């Protein structure tokens, strides 16, 4: 891709010829859908979504995680602050919000936010089952649903593969009965990749969730290609390694060539590296900051890096 | 847990430093004016330690027991549990320590004192620190009075004061009653360290080490 016109980043319309080239490049990256929600129209940049392979339903390439950030207990002020993050997330075109019974009060706080925002219809609810006992899984999912205050979850995954042999049949049965829409399994921090690979080979999953970033690329070797082969959507957790990665790179200026992928800040740079992998459907950074959620959602706009630039991005971040 | 060696404490911390600090703020507002009662009990504890008489160990153990049971219920169960599911277990542990204090301290009267000994003086200083200085750490480090951690109401100063009393007391009860406070000091120190508060994090482990060292010295000199 050629360098972006700086006027593009300033919100001036992109020449038609450049736009065509940009769309061709995006299509070459694989099944990226370009939509035009309000933010994208306002900024005159395409809004990026990816289809869930099992259904074709489009998801924006950036979601919202809730690990640590939304666990604020009964603190009304902090709950309102989280609701504002959610409001800005939805306003920017976001859909997937991810949580787990493991995350303390996060589910309640998401439920509070959804109620406060009038239960936005675009919300894609992604939760997990996290309990040793297989027979207790269904009850835990129902409790989680009540905490979210949603009619049903879109996605329920087995958290960190805990008792997945017992939970997976339950989830698949719930999906067949229409009680949930998608089924998945998760892991994090590069753990138990061999086991998740086995699950992916033996079972029909809609989603997997793994950790992946410019400095944590183990999944590129086997997990991501396998997900593509098996038609499974990949959700990426901890894209900033709980903030450590972005804190580390923010000390350095963003390289000028980042503009070739329409990256205006480090958050966009790191997220676009992740979501430009053809197997990845969505990354789910967590934040308590409205400014940060806006930055993160910027990764849904404009061009994505091609393979050559992805390699350059990874090398640059590793060098930093 | 497979691949257990890849886990660190940060993998189990569900909350941010800001949320943890704010928890104390909301807790203090919620239980006010219980802190003044706790402070009064702390003063009674110190007065009894200053010139201990026979049988007063029962009362000291009772004061400590009230602190531990209160922290178990009011702090862990009613507040900390809102951001940390593990607080359920902490509540049980604190309640168990309260039970131990009741049985060995109040019923069996195993807390005896030797005024003037090094262990007694250091133990008194540790309780003095828990009652009067630990609550000042929050306001003096810019976190404000509302985040103050008060003996008898918050877990850390309650554990520290207990270690002080045990250090000052007779040898028999020390280890049975001291294990859980020592473990709490280690855990709380590790949590604060992981939350990025190294200044606060070192306080409890330092107290625990001082108590252990002085207790060992006192034991050696008694032989």
Q: Which of A61, A67, A38, A100 is nearest to A297 (CA)?
A: A61
Asked if the model's pLDDT at residue A121 lies above 70, the reply is: yes
Largest CA distance in chain A: 58
Nearest-5° Cα angle at B128, B127 to B129: 90
What is the pLDDT confidence band of residue B223, given thresholds at 50, 70 and 90? low
Tell me: pLDDT of A16 over 90.
Answer: no
Q: How many CB atoms lie within 10 A of CB B131?
A: 23
Asked whether the beta carbons of residue A189 and residue B19 sit closer than 8 angstroms, the reply is no
Q: How far is the C-alpha of A149 from the C-alpha of B144, rounded, in Å?
A: 36
Question: CB count, 10 Å around CB of B166?
Answer: 29
Please report the pLDDT score of residue A146 as a whole number: 97
- Closest residue to B84, CB basis, from A67, A104, A189: A104
d(CA A138, CA A166): 11
Q: Does A192 touch chain B (CB under 8 A)?
A: yes
pLDDT for B115:
84
Q: What strand order describes the sheet that includes A153-158?
A: A96-98, A124-129, A153-158, A180-186, A207-211, A233-237, A280-283
Instruction: Given CATH 3.10.20.30, say whether it is the number of domain A6-319.
Output: no
The per-residue pLDDT for A164 is 94
Measured distance CA(A112)–CA(A91) in Å, rounded:
17
| Strand partners for A237 | A211
The shortest C-alpha distance from B84 to chain A (Å) reads 5
Which residues does chain A have within 8 Å of residue B84's beta carbon, measured at their own beta carbons?
Answer: 104
Tokens matching residue B114: 């030797």
A11 pLDDT more than 90: no
Q: Is A103 in contact with B14 (Cβ distance < 8 A)?
A: yes
Grade residue B92 by pLDDT with cuts at 50, 70 and 90: very high
Q: Mutation target for A interface from B6, B7, B13, B19: give the one with most A CBs within 10 A.
A: B19
Statement: residue B211 has pLDDT above 90: no
Mean pLDDT of A16-33: 46
Which chain B residue's Cα is nearest to A188?
B11
Please report the pLDDT score of residue A290 as a whole number.
Answer: 96
* pLDDT range class, residue B76, cuts 50, 70, 90: very high
B56 pLDDT band, cuts 50/70/90, is: confident
Which of A28-32, A97-101, A237-241, B84-88 comes out lowest in average pLDDT?
Answer: A28-32
Residue of B10, B22, B82 lying closest to A105 (CB–CB): B82
Mean pLDDT of B109-130: 90
Q: What pLDDT band is residue A26 in, cutting at 50, 70 and 90? A: very low
Average pLDDT over residues B120-131: 94
Contacts of A75 in chain B (CB under 8 A): 19, 22-23, 26
Strand partners, A183: A156
Looking up tokens 């049975």 gives B176
Q: Give dist(CA A242, CA A114) in Å, integer.
A: 24
Do the Cβ atoms of A73 and B2 come within 8 Å?
no
B11: chain A residues, CB-CB within 8 Å: 189
pLDDT at res. A42: 54
Contact (CB, 8 A) for A249 and A320? yes
Cα distances (Å, whole numbers) of residue B2 to A131, A193, A202, A245: 16, 12, 21, 26
**Hey, is the C-beta of B9 within 8 angstroms of any chain A C-beta?**
no
DSSP secondary structure string, B113-163?
A: B-TTSHHHHHHHHHHHIIIIIHHHHHHHTTS-GGG---TTTSHHHHHHHHH
Q: Which of A11-25, A236-250, B161-175 holds the top average pLDDT?
A: A236-250
Position A301 scores a pLDDT of 93
A6, burial (CB in 10 Å: exposed 0-12, middle 13-18, buried 19+) = exposed
Q: Which residue has the higher pLDDT, A191 or B165?
A: B165
Question: Does position B171 have pLDDT exceeding 70, yes or no?
Answer: no
The per-residue pLDDT for range A34-55, each reduced to its tens digit, is 544 555 555 677 899 999 999 9
Separation between Cα atoms, residue A163 and residue A210, nearest integer Å: 17
User: Which residues, in sequence order, are bridge partners of residue A62?
Assistant: A283
Probe site for chain B from A66, A70, A71 (most B CB atoms < 10 A): A71
Lowest-confidence pick of A3-12, A299-308, B21-30, B96-105: A3-12
Distance from CA of B134 to the nearest CA of A (A): 25
Single pTM value for the model = 0.86
Interface with chain A: mutation pick from B10, B16, B84, B90, highest number of A CBs within 10 Å: B16
The nearest CA of chain A is from the CA of B115 a distance in Å of 46
Asked if pLDDT for residue A8 goes beyond 50, the answer is no
List the alpha helices (DSSP H) in chain A. 6-9, 16-30, 38-43, 76-91, 106-116, 137-148, 164-176, 193-202, 223-230, 244-249, 266-275, 290-297, 307-319
> ipTM for the complex?
0.87
Alpha-carbon distance of A299 to A296, in angstroms, equals 6
- Annotated domain spans of chain A: 6-319
- For chain A, the average pLDDT equals 87
For chain B, give the mean pLDDT: 90
Q: With residue A121 as reference, give the H or E element that holds it.
A: none
The structure tokens listed for B134 are 């630990």
Contact A275, A61 (CB under 8 A): yes
Structure-model confidence comparison of residues B219 and A280, the more confident one: A280
């Amino acid at each position: 891709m050629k360098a972006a016109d700086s006027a593009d980043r300033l919100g001036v319309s992109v020449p038609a010829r450049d736009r065509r080239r940009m769309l061709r490049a995006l299509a070459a990256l694989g099944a990226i859908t370009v939509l035009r929600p309000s933010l994208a129209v306002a900024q005159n940049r395409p809004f990026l979504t990816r289809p869930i392979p099992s259904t074709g339903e489009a998801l924006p390439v950036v979601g919202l995680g809730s690990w640590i950030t939304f666990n604020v207990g009964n603190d009304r002020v902090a709950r309102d602050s989280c609701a504002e993050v959610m409001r800005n997330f939805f306003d920017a075109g976001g859909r997937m919000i991810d949580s787990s019974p493991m995350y303390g009060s996060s589910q309640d706080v998401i439920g509070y936010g959804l109620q406060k925002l009038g239960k936005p219809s675009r919300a894609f609810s992604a939760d997990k089952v996290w309990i040793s006992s297989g027979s207790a899984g269904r009850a835990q999912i129902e409790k989680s649903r009540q905490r979210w205050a949603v009619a049903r979850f879109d996605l329920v995954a087995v958290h960190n593969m805990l008792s997945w042999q017992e939970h997976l049949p339950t989830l698949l049965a719930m999906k067949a009965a229409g009680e949930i829409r998608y089924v998945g399994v998760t892991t994090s921090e590069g753990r138990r990749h061999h086991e998740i690979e086995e699950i992916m080979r033996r079972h029909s999953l809609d989603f997997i969730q793994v950790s992946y970033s410019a400095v944590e690329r183990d999944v590129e070797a086997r997990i991501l290609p396998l997900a593509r082969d098996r038609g499974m959507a990949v959700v990426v957790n901890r894209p900033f390694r709980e903030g450590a990665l972005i804190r580390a790179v923010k000390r350095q200026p963003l390289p000028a060539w980042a503009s070739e992928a329409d990256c205006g800040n480090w958050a966009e740079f790191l997220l676009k590296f992740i979501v430009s992998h053809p197997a990845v459907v969505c990354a789910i950074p967590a934040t308590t900051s409205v400014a940060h959620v806006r930055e993160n959602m910027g990764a849904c706009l404009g061009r994505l890096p091609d393979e050559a630039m992805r390699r350059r991005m990874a090398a640059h971040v590793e060098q930093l | 847990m497979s691949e257990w060696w890849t886990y660190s404490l940060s993998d189990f911390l569900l909350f941010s430093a800001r949320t943890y600090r704010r928890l104390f703020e909301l807790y203090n507002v919620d239980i006010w004016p219980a802190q003044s009662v706790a402070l009064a009990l702390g003063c009674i504890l110190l007065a009894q330690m200053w010139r201990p008489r026979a049988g007063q160990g029962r009362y000291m153990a009772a004061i400590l027991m009230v602190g531990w049971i209160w922290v178990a219920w009011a702090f862990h169960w009613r507040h900390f549990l809102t951001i940390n599911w593990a607080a359920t277990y902490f509540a049980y542990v604190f309640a168990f320590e309260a039970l131990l204090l009741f049985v060995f301290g109040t019923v069996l009267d195993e807390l005896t004192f030797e005024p003037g000994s090094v262990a007694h003086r250091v133990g008194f200083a540790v309780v003095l620190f828990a009652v009067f200085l630990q609550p000042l750490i929050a306001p003096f480090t810019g976190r404000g009075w509302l985040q103050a951690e008060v003996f008898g109401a918050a877990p850390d100063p309650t554990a520290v004061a207990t270690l002080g009393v045990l250090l000052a007391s007779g040898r028999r009860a020390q280890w049975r009653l001291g294990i859980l406070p020592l473990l709490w000091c280690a855990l709380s120190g590790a949590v604060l360290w992981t939350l990025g508060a190294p200044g606060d994090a070192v306080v409890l482990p330092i107290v625990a080490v001082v108590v252990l060292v002085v207790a060992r010295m006192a034991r050696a000199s008694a032989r």
